[in-house]
Structure 1
Amino acid sequence: MPRYAGFTLVELLVVIAIIGVLIALLLPAVQAAREASNRAACKNNLRQLGIAMHGFHDTKGHFPRGGGSPKKAQVSWTTELLPWLEEQPLADLIDHTEPYTSDSNLPAGSRVIDMLLCPSKPHVRELRGSADLSSSSPNRYGPTCYGGMQGERGLRSAKATNNPERGTMIFEREISIVEITDGTSHTMLLGEAPEGIHGIWIGVRNLFDQSAPINTRSGSEDADFTDFGQELSSYHPGGAQVLLADGGGKFFPEEMDDRLLAAYCSRASED
């Protein structure tokens, strides 16, 4: 009877084990490459928002206001920026005389804008409810991973407040570059908050009232979020990305000194 060459069961198991080891070795490298790509895409989103911000400033003489009246649920800074993001048809759908929560603004507010999404966030295109509406409301809105810097409290000292607002994106008032006396390269405009409680782009409260170090109060879709005015956070390991007032991007590490973070969150130094 002829004999045929082939693998024994032991040899086959050894080959399978070797393949498993190789996959285990390669998987972290693949994940790292994917995260590097996601981080680059997120940084580019912020740069594009920076270009739009400065285009708005060149035209109007100031940056967009952080938002209208929060008590009246007016529309956000993002709605003002839409024409500079090549979203004029979407901007035309928004009724600025009505609350963003009104039915008339739902067709616009429920749209997803890819430039406002960090690809590292799971389920990033999923629509979200509004904290300005009852939890039973069926209304769902387009998410955003980026918020405006309203200011900081409790970082530079335990008793520090954000009244009056110290940031570049504040309620019911526009800020110009001449008011950023700390320098545009040392002051934040925008930052990441992919799981922020007010993370919908049309919503008036999409601002940071920064009161904690980076990634300490959000950054996981499974976290129990509390409304502290949103905090800087991200799904990028080790920190979060921000947009500075000069249009440049920067990665802020989690171990960043509180007083330094406070200085970046403020447009004018304070002893």
Structure 2
Amino acid sequence: MQNTLGLASQSKRSQERCGLPVKESLGSRNEVAKRNAFTLVELLVVIAIIGILVGLLLPAVQSAREAARRMQCQNNMKQLGLAMHNHMATHGAFPPGNVNYDESGNRFKTGGWQHGQNELGWTWLPMLFPFIEQPGLWQQVNICEDDRADDHTSNPCDHCEYMASNNHFGRDQLGGFISCPSAPAPVTQFTDGTYGLESLAKGCNYAASWGSGNMLSWESSETRGAFGTYYVHQDKIIKPGVGSTVAAGDRFQQRNGMKSRDFLDGLSNTIALSEIVASDVGGGSLPATDIRGVWMSPAMGASIFSTFLNPNAKEKDTLAACDDTITGINQPYMECLQVRDTADVYAASRSHHVGGVNTLMADGSVRFVSESVDNISIWQPMGTAQNSEVITIE
């Protein structure tokens, strides 16, 4: 037997030296196969482990991405806060929330000329363009103003959007500086002929605080916020020109917003801006007649909000232009009631962040405010500038 094994070994070595293929026994091949393959059970265990790890890591990755988006959202707000204070340094005041020189009964209305609002000026946002490195946008604002210099029966949402020579200013979204990264990009424009406005871009996620009440909050020190309507006679806007023409006066009224001395509650205790959501949260499934997120309009839910309702409130917003058939959109909550003939409209601060909203205070600081904040003792007082409340946030 030993001789046989020795001869086999010598034969194998001879074959290797001659470059001939060496035949292996069946047992040797089985041993190689066993060493280089996984069993089905082992493969399934590995797949299961990978699946568990992915399941554990994916929420953490998503959470990290949302944290980064929320930080970018806060940074956008800080830039707007810096622009507001640069505006105050230049003009002595924050910009007015919007300018209105229409009939007294229209001082709270925000529609277009077909709805009876003919004499409106600009909102707070375009007045900040020079201070947020947007000279091109500010130039378009001034081109529109030059074009309507002899026309006091118009408003920017109608006149500027219609101007083909000015690239229909108002139809396009502004860009990332006014949009929260956590919010989906809007895919529709606002168009509602019965409200007198057409083809206005959405995408605005930051709104000015109108106080703790409705569209007339600015008329009372108990409810007035950091922004409000500057209601003025048209003589301050339009002044006589040469001959039969007229020339534009001060349509912007940039000196007539809130001054630092007007914040009796203190700049650090008063909300300047907070978050809102555009009406495209359903991926564009909502109709174009919903005004939420329209940056050019001073309507509730468009570029202004009220602390009347809590952040991310599970209560309906009352708006001048919305789809009141919306149901089933709960994060953020999007049901609303449409009211156009009274000042009693309210839009809550809402966001795509879990648990609350980013909020810019009038001193330029940014806070994340929980949606469970006490409405009467904290949130509404934070929305007012002149009601002498003492706010304690633990």
- Does TM, normalized by the shorter one, top 0.5? yes
Q: 1: distance between equivalents of 2:194 and 2:50?
A: 52
Of 309, 329, 349, the match for 1:232: 349
Quote the residue 1:114 is aligned against.
176
Q: 2: distance between equivalents of 1:167 and 1:63?
A: 12
1:88 counterpart = 2:171: no
Of 50, 61, 64, the match for 1:19: 50
Contact 1:195 1:220 in 2 (8 A): no
Quote the residue 2:123 is aligned against.
76
Q: 2: distance between equivalents of 1:112 and 1:225?
A: 26
Quote the residue 1:262 is aligned against.
380
Q: Which has the higher relative contact order, 1 or 2, with Cα contacts under 8 A spaced 6 or more apart?
A: 1
Quickly say closer, same or farther: Cα 1:262–1:86, change in 2 above 3 A.
same
Quickly say closer, same or farther: Cα 1:16–1:138, change in 2 above 3 A.
farther
Of 80, 88, 104, the match for 1:57: 88
1:99 counterpart = 2:156: yes
Q: Percent identity?
A: 30
1:94-173 matched pairs, under 5 angstroms: 94=141, 95-96=144-145, 97=148, 98-102=155-159, 103-104=162-163, 107-109=168-170, 110-122=172-184, 124=185, 126-129=187-190, 133-134=193-194, 139-153=199-213, 162=217, 164=219, 166-172=224-230
Quote the residue 1:176 is aligned against.
259
Contact 2:332 2:352 in 1 (8 A): no
1:200 counterpart = 2:261: no
Contact 1:152 1:209 in 2 (8 A): yes
Shift of 1:35: 1.1
Contact 1:144 1:200 in 2 (8 A): yes
Q: 1: distance between equivalents of 2:359 and 2:218?
A: 23
When the two chains are superposed, the root-mean-square deviation of aligned CA atoms in Å is: 2.6
Aligned residues: 263
Q: 1: distance between equivalents of 2:275 and 2:203?
A: 12
Instruction: Give the aligned residue type for 1:203.
Output: S
Q: 2: distance between equivalents of 1:134 and 1:9?
A: 67
Of 284, 305, 308, the match for 1:211: 308
Question: TM-score when scaled to structure 2?
Answer: 0.61
Q: 2: distance between equivalents of 1:41 and 1:169?
A: 24
Instruction: Give the aligned residue type for 1:88.
Output: P
Q: Deviations over 1:127-164 (max 9, x none)?
A: 53156x5589761414110000011139xxxxxx8362
Q: Deviations over 1:183-224 (max 9, x none)?
A: 000001110002364312221222113321110147746732
Q: 2: distance between equivalents of 1:87 and 1:243?
A: 21
Quickly say closer, same or farther: Cα 1:33–1:188, change in 2 above 3 A.
same
Q: 1: distance between equivalents of 2:312 and 2:97?
A: 22
Q: 2: distance between equivalents of 1:178 and 1:140?
A: 36
4+ runs of 1 displaced by more than 6 Å? Answer: 135-138
Unaligned runs of 5+ in 2: 1-25, 101-109, 111-116, 149-154, 231-255, 280-290, 318-329, 339-344, 390-394
Q: 1: distance between equivalents of 2:133 and 2:374?
A: 37
1:223 counterpart = 2:334: yes
Shift of 1:250: 0.9
Quote the residue 1:158 is aligned against.
none
SS at match of 1:64: coil
Question: TM-score when scaled to structure 1?
Answer: 0.87
Stretch deviating more after TM superposition (214-223 or 238-247): 214-223
Shift of 1:8: 1.8
Unaligned runs of 5+ in 1: 155-160
Quickly say closer, same or farther: Cα 1:150–1:38, change in 2 above 3 A.
same
Q: 2: distance between equivalents of 1:35 and 1:209?
A: 26
Max Rg structure: 2
